[in-house]
Each structure stands twice: as C-alpha cells, then as structure tokens.
Amino acid sequence: MSPNRTLATTARVLKQLSHDPRSIVLLLVAPSLLVGLFAWLFDTQPGVFDRYGGPLLALFPFILMFVITSITTLRERRSGTLERLMSTTMNKPDFIIGYGVAFGFMATLQAVVTVTFAVVLCGLSVEGPVWQLGLVAVVDAILGTALGLFASAFARTEFQAVQFMPLFVFPQIILGGLFMPREDMPDALETISDWLPLSYAIDAINAVTAGDSGADLFIPLGVVGAFALAALVLASLTLRRKTP
C-alpha cells in the first residue's frame, strides 16, 4: 500500500466531482429536501417526525452513496482506466481506500448539512449530542460506499448497477426496524434482520435520538463499521489484474 497513490486517487475522485457542480449540489442538498418533506408531512402529528426523522438520517447517506459509488466505479471499470491502473504498480487497496476516503469526505459534508437541517430547521429532537448523529450518518455513508464498490463488480452496465439498489438496499430498509420493531418480526425475518448492516445503523441512530450512549450506541455503530470494512475487503478482492 502506498499513501501517496491512495491520496492521489482520493484527490482525483474529488477533482472529478468538482467538474460536476450539479452532482455536488444534489449530493449535499437532496437529503435535506427529503427530510424537510417528511417533516412537513407530519407537521400536524407531533412525535412522528421525532420517531422517524432519525432513521431517515441513516438511510439517505447510505442509499445515495451506494448508488453514486457503484456507478462511478462501474464507469471506471468500463472506461478502461481501471485496467490501465491495474497494469501499473498501483495496489488494489490504494484504489479502494482512495475511493472510500473521497466519498467518505463527501459523506461527511452531506451529514453535516443534513443533520443541521433536520435539527435546526425541522426541529428534530435529539436527546444525545448532535455530533453523534453526524457520526452515525458518516459511518452509514461509508457503508453505502463500501457496498457500492462491492456491488459494482457484479454489474456490466449502468442500468444493472441501478437495479442493484433495490436488491442490496430495499430489503435492508424493510427489515431494518423502521416499519416494525425488529423484535416484533417473524422469527425468520428477525434472524435475517440481525445479519443486515442497516439494522444496526438504525439501532445506532435510535440510540442517539433516545439519548442512550455507551454500548447502546457504539456496539451497533461498530457492527456497521465492521460490515463496511468487510465490504471494502470484498470489493478489493473483486478487482482483477487479469480478466478473461
């Protein structure tokens, strides 16, 4: 591994984004708009936004980063630049971590904007410290990035990559405890839910909004981080120097 090549890759990905201001605006503003829409919808029913607003903060960065990363890396695979990089002295972790850091940075910006918007403008009540909410959002975004990197290995076209979103993401939302507390689910589904990273992301957010800290927050957060790390390692294994 070479920090120079990793950072060069991070800088390159960010420069690519900087030539696409519309994407940056969408990345930073879209989640806030959706959170605002949600807050407005339940404006007359006190308590509903406080209950669901938190988990939304976990979902948006996860979904967005998943889609953005899987499409960007797919483009890299298809344009021949990945093959070119793989024919140089670049190591696979340089590439994967370079991407992870770049999108992780964007995710942090996104989390700051979205959490500020939710708490200050929409009045989301958070018992715990607000920075913890931001922290969870960032870790979720990194999870999305890692899964997106991994998923892009199985897509041949952008169209397929977008189709992976329902496959990788929707089951996690449905079984994540947002619609029904996980302990009330049928046993089989609860077991599946226990193996999905987003479940822990939502647990972590709920812990912050409820004001729990310590183990209630950091164990689920650690689980999400471990899933992200595992996905990054798997993604790195999907990079091939030799292709058929």
Partner 1 sequence: MGLQSAQSPGHPDRSALTSGRESAFHPVECQVTWWDNGSMASVSGNAAQGHDSPAVTIRDLFIRRGRTVVFDGLSLQIPRGQITGLLGPSGCGKTTLMRAVVGVQKIHGGTVEVLGEPAGARALRSLVAYDTQTASVYDDLTVRQNLNYFARIVGADREATERVAHEVGMTSNLRSLVANLSGGQRSRVSLAVALLGDPELIVLDEPTVGLDPTLRQELWMLFRSLAQRGITVLVTSHVMDEALHCDRLLLMREGKIIADTTPTGLLKDTGTTNPDAAFLELIARSEQRLEPGHGKHAAQQESS
Instruction: Answer for the pair 239, 151: CB distance below 8 angstroms, yes or no.
Output: no
Q: Does 237 bind partner 1 (CB under 8 A)?
A: no
Q: Does 21 bind partner 1 (CB under 8 A)?
A: no
Q: Does 45 bind partner 1 (CB under 8 A)?
A: no
C-alpha span between 98 and 228 (Å, rounded): 15
The 3-state DSSP class for residue 92 equals: helix
Q: By CB under 8 A, name the one of 3, 19, 183, 187 that touches partner 1.
A: 19
Q: By CB under 8 A, name the one of 20, 43, 127, 194 that touches partner 1.
A: 20
CA distances to 9, 129, 224 from 16, in Å:
10, 34, 28
Backbone angles phi and psi of 237, in degrees to 5 = -70, -25
Q: Site residues for partner 1, window 77-106 (CB under 8 A)?
A: 79-81, 83-90
| Closer residue to partner 1, CB minimum distance, 15 or 51 | 15
Q: Does 3 bind partner 1 (CB under 8 A)?
A: no
DSSP conformation letters of 98-112: HHHHHHHHHHHHHHH
Q: Does 242 bind partner 1 (CB under 8 A)?
A: yes
Instruction: Answer for the pair 153, 74: CB distance below 8 angstroms, yes or no.
Output: no
Q: By CB under 8 A, name the one of 3, 4, 159, 184 that touches partner 1.
A: 4
Q: Does 241 bind partner 1 (CB under 8 A)?
A: yes
Instruction: Answer for the pair 101, 6: CB distance below 8 angstroms, yes or no.
Output: yes
**Residues engaged in binding partner 1 (CB under 8 A):** 4-5, 8-9, 11-12, 15-16, 19-20, 79-81, 83-90, 241-244
